[in-house]
């Protein structure tokens, strides 16, 4: 493995972490949106808020990490991508900001109208942000980002069949991951009815995601032939691992083995992302910019790798401790007032 591939591998590991943790975070907002009315959706929204509240800021650190590594170590490919795909990236950035602000302020206001406004902003941005990020992935994976600044089509690069497929799958995967994670959280806290409700949501999301994925095979074959060739060629073993892990997770959900279902679901997501990377290797931007061509000079890459290694020594143990602490018990106990819904306690619906 070359120095450039090692640094890019670190960025890709961050992308996987963001897909899992940030994805589940976005998915919580999607289920918040679909929770129902003020009274009926209170328990679901309360569960989501308690689950993502302690970690939602940490979940999005990974996106900053990925952007910084790409910007520093692969500035040519980074510049070409952000100048071609600046519309969906800007919309996603607004979505992340709106989502975070709404989530924070919803807990701080008393007026029902404002709580509903912030709740709606949180839920809608949770739906739209992963969609726009998925369109960006689709634009890159389908080879619609040229390897330089200027010639890219700023509309068709993300409004195309592969990007729309990527956006739809991103939303569905986020919803699925969140439902699987919330099953375990609810059962851990003795909320068995909610665990069952999220189990049904996870199973439904899995079925829809699988159906869209099957449709996506035809879409990729027609719209992104290079990616399709890679996924059905050298990337096929990894794709099959993703399919097997997804089916295993489905079976584990049916038998209510939520912890094991989390692991299998995470493996399915990781495998499909690795399959994408394998499919377009050695290109950073299909079909002409390789990883080595996009990489910065050796001194920059070496300094970046040293900084990443030093940062990992501090950051990774802290994140592991945070997630472990969070999973041992509810950090924010369910208060008696939360047990009974009231019109003043709900964000929207």
pLDDT tens digit sequence for 134-175: 999 999 999 999 998 878 899 999 999 999 999 999 999 999
Give the pLDDT band of residue 321 (cuts 50, 70, 90).
confident
Per-residue confidence (pLDDT) for residue 221, from 0 to 100 = 94
Confidence of residue 180 (pLDDT cuts 50, 70, 90): very high
Name the residue ranges covered by the structural domains of the chain: 3-327
Please state, in angstroms and rounded to a whole number, the distance separating the CA atoms of residues 299 and 305. 10
At residue 179, the pLDDT reads 96
Tell me what pLDDT residue 330 has: 52
Cα separation, 147 vs 332, whole angstroms: 48
Q: Are 253 and 202 in contact (CB under 8 A)?
A: yes
Q: Is 254 exposed, middle or buried (0-12, 13-18, 19+ CB in 10 A)?
A: exposed
pTM score: 0.89
Pull the structure tokens for residue 236: 């096929």
Report residue 347's pLDDT band, with 50, 70 and 90 as the boundaries. very low
Q: How far is Cα 84 from Cα 226, in angstroms, rounded to an integer?
A: 20
Average pLDDT over residues 290-299: 95
Reported as a single tens digit per residue, the pLDDT across 269-293 is 999 999 999 999 999 998 889 999 9
């Amino acid at each position: 493995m070359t120095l450039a591939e090692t640094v890019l591998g670190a960025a890709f590991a961050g992308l996987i972490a963001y897909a899992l943790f940030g994805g589940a975070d976005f998915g919580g907002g999607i289920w918040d949106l679909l929770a129902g009315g003020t009274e009926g959706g209170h328990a679901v929204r309360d569960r989501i808020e308690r689950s993502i509240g302690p970690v939602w800021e940490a979940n999005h650190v990974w996106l900053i990490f990925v952007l910084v590594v790409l910007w520093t170590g692969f500035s040519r490919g980074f510049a070409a991508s952000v100048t071609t795909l600046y519309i969906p990236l800007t919309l996603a950035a607004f979505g992340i900001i709106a989502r975070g602000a709404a989530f924070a302020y919803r807990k701080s206001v008393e007026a029902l109208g404002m709580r509903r406004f912030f709740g709606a902003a949180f839920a809608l941005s949770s739906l739209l942000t992963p969609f726009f990020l998925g369109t960006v992935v689709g634009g890159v994976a389908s080879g619609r980002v040229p390897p330089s600044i200027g010639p890219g089509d700023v509309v068709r690069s993300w409004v195309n069949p592969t990007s729309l497929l990527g956006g739809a799958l991103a939303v569905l995967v986020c919803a699925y991951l969140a439902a699987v994670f919330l099953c375990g959280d609810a059962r851990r806290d003795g909320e068995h009815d909610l665990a069952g409700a999220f189990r049904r949501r996870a199973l439904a999301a899995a079925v829809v995601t699988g159906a869209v994925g099957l449709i996506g095979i035809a879409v990729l074959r027609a719209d992104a032939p290079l990616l399709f060739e890679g996924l059905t060629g050298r990337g096929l073993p990894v794709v099959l691992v993703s399919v097997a892990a997804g089916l295993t997770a489905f079976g584990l959900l049916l038998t209510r083995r939520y912890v094991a279902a989390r692991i299998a679901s995470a493996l399915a997501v990781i495998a499909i992302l690795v399959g994408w990377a394998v499919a377009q290797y050695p290109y950073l931007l299909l079909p002409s910019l390789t990883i080595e061509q996009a990489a910065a000079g050796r001194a920059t890459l070496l300094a970046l790798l040293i900084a990443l290694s030093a940062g990992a020594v501090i950051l990774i143990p802290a994140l592991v401790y945070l997630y472990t602490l969070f999973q041992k018990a509810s950090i924010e106990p369910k208060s008696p007032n939360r047990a009974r819904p009231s019109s003043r306690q709900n964000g929207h619906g």
